[in-house]
């Protein structure tokens, strides 16, 4: 039953809905979408995050889940890429301390690379598919979030427009 838990963030594949619970020690709950909505799996702390961590955002792409996880007491933030089938960790990277998850938007690209967008510093960080920082660039106007159209068109939402970029 979808009404039992209070949910914070969700994302979809073609066949599943992934929800995160709105509490510390967040869980991820997977529901099938067709032919009817049914609970498939549930992953809980400490398998996903510690009891002191909170999954702020979740994104799906190409059988992977990207999780933005905040630990408020330590004032730390990390980004993890996991398999959507097993939730096994593929890579994880610590983001700068003293920043909050609400400052970030992010998008998981097809090759397991990730774009992390700092909404306040107007910075976009490209993280390679092995969890290593590839490059950082300042972006003007200030970016808010990003999404991919097709295989090679990146759309970046800014404060007052949408910018389109062709990817190589």
pLDDT confidence of residue 5: 65
Contact 34, 15 (CB under 8 A): yes
Closest CA to 95 of 61, 136, 59: 136
pLDDT digits (tens, 9 = 90+) for 83-127: 999 999 999 988 866 666 667 777 787 778 888 888 777 788 888
| More reliable by pLDDT, 120 or 156 | 156
pLDDT confidence of residue 82: 94
pTM here is 0.83
**pLDDT over 90 (residue 140):** no
pLDDT confidence of residue 104: 74
Number of neighbouring beta carbons within 10 Å of residue 45: 17
pLDDT confidence of residue 21: 93
pLDDT confidence of residue 148: 78
**pLDDT over 50 (residue 1):** no
Mean pLDDT of the region 158-166: 89
pLDDT confidence of residue 29: 94
DSSP of 43-110: E-TTTSS-TT-EEEEEEEETTEEEEEEEETTTTEEEEEEEETTT--EEEEEEEPTT--GGGEEEEE-T
Adjacency order of strands within the sheet including 114-118: 104-108, 114-118, 123-127, 133-138
Number of neighbouring beta carbons within 10 Å of residue 15: 12
Contact 48, 54 (CB under 8 A): no
pLDDT confidence of residue 53: 92
Closest CA to 71 of 52, 46, 45: 52
**pLDDT over 90 (residue 72):** no
Which residues are 117's β-sheet partners?
105, 124
Mean pLDDT of the region 157-162: 88
Share of the chain above pLDDT 90, in %: 36
| Distance of alpha carbon 40 from alpha carbon 28, whole angstroms | 11
| Distance of alpha carbon 19 from alpha carbon 12, whole angstroms | 9
């Amino acid at each position: 039953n979808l009404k039992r838990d209070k949910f914070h963030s969700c994302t979809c594949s073609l066949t599943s809905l992934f929800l995160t619970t709105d509490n510390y020690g967040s869980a991820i709950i997977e529901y099938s979408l067709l032919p009817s909505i049914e609970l498939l799996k549930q992953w809980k702390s400490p398998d996903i995050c510690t009891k002191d961590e909170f999954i702020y955002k979740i994104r799906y792409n190409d059988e992977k889940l990207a999780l933005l996880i905040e630990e408020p007491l330590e004032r730390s933030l990390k980004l993890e890429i996991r398999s959507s089938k097993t939730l096994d960790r593929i890579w994880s990277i610590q983001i700068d301390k003293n920043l909050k998850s609400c400052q970030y938007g992010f998008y998981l690209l097809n090759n397991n690379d990730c774009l992390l967008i700092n909404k306040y510093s107007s910075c976009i960080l490209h993280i390679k598919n092995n969890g290593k920082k590839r490059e950082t660039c300042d972006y003007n106007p200030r970016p808010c979030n990003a999404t991919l159209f097709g295989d090679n068109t990146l759309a970046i939402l800014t404060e007052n427009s949408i910018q389109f970029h062709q990817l190589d």
